[in-house]
Amino acid sequence: MIYVERTLAIIKPDIIDKEEEIEDLILRSGFHIIQKRKLQLSPEQCSNFYAEQFGKVFFPNLTAYMSSGPIVAMVLARNCAVSYWKELLGPSNSLRARITHPHSLRALYGTDELRNGLHGSLNTSSAEKEIRFIFPEAILEPVPTGQRARDYLNLYVKPTLLAGLTALCKEKPADPMIWLADWLVEHNPNKPKLQYHISQ
């Protein structure tokens, strides 16, 4: 089984005009953009998002900066997504990044320590928490195995498939495979929520 890790990427307000260019770099670096959303956070939402930074000297400036305009949030997926995204970002201080990691995204798009252009999750647990914050409808649970998988099949898949096959026998369409596929999509009781969308 190949485990694909997810991380949160944010294009911050001052470089939102570089969105397409940055997305192209992300895709060329082997990431898949699972979800994308353009939104503007309120100062209160920024305070909640950066709650771990509360009490630090830069906290008021950080929340003001992050709520100063729209952002683009993306869920990125690939093997070792968190560490690869952090590596692509470079140091959080853009001035330092220009010296030590001149080809990193923060060196290229950031201005200084605060206005570093992009956000990345620190680790997998913070990635899950941040993804749930920005994309509350996201499905992050691992794919079930063993007894959990059998329970899922018995509870959701078998009843839906049985109903679909019964309808297929009654309908007797010319192309049964296409008919059944369309029926299953239309009658899926657990329509996936991992769809590419942009909302404001």
Does the annotation count 103 as an active-site position?
A: no
pLDDT by residue (tens digit) across 124-170? 999 999 999 999 876 655 555 677 767 777 877 888 888 889 999 99
Task: Tell me the pLDDT band of 181, cut-offs 50, 70 and 90.
Answer: confident
Instruction: Give the pLDDT score at 192.
Output: 45
Tokens of 200: 């404001």
What is the CB-side half-sphere exposure of residue 68 using CA atoms within 13 A? 15
What is the rounded distance in angstroms from the CA atom of residue 7 to the CA atom of residue 70?
Answer: 20
Tell me: pLDDT of 193 over 50.
no
Within 8 A by CB and 6+ apart from 138, the residues are 35, 75, 131, 132, 193, 194
| Least confidently predicted of 16-25, 154-163, 168-177, 190-199 | 190-199
Q: Give the whole-number percent of the chain exceeding pLDDT 90.
A: 62
Catalytic residue among 32, 101, 103, 119: 119
DSSP bridge pairs for 11: 72, 118
Q: How far is CA 171 from the centre of its chain?
A: 40
